[in-house]
Amino acid sequence: MENNETNPLVIEMTDENGIKVKVEIVSRFEDGGKQYVIANDLSNDTDSYILELKSTEEGDMLVSIDNEDEFNRLCKLVENAEVEQPKE
């Protein structure tokens, strides 16, 4: 899963309310041996998502983070800018 300034990665996903939204993957990072992405909602300047990136036989898959402790820990990492931005 790659993106850069000239070719942003935009995907359509279904949010927790069953509504389809287009998001742009703006960052990818690793924590605790797992891969994560930060995705910004293109229809709303304030909504962002942290999703786990899992590799399967069918390819890469974005998965919501259901564990509240894990999600809160990742939010703190992102808020404190401890997540490296991808190199261009």
Distance in angstroms (rounded) separating the CA atoms of residues 47 and 43: 9
Query: What does the block give as tokens for 20?
Result: 């389809």
Res. 26 pLDDT band, cuts 50 70 90: very high
- State pLDDT tens for residues 30-84: 999 999 999 999 998 888 999 999 999 999 999 999 999 999 999 999 888 755 5
Contact indicator for 38, 26 with CB cutoff of 8 Å: yes
Q: Is the pTM of this model over 0.75?
A: yes
Over residues 8-19, mean pLDDT: 88
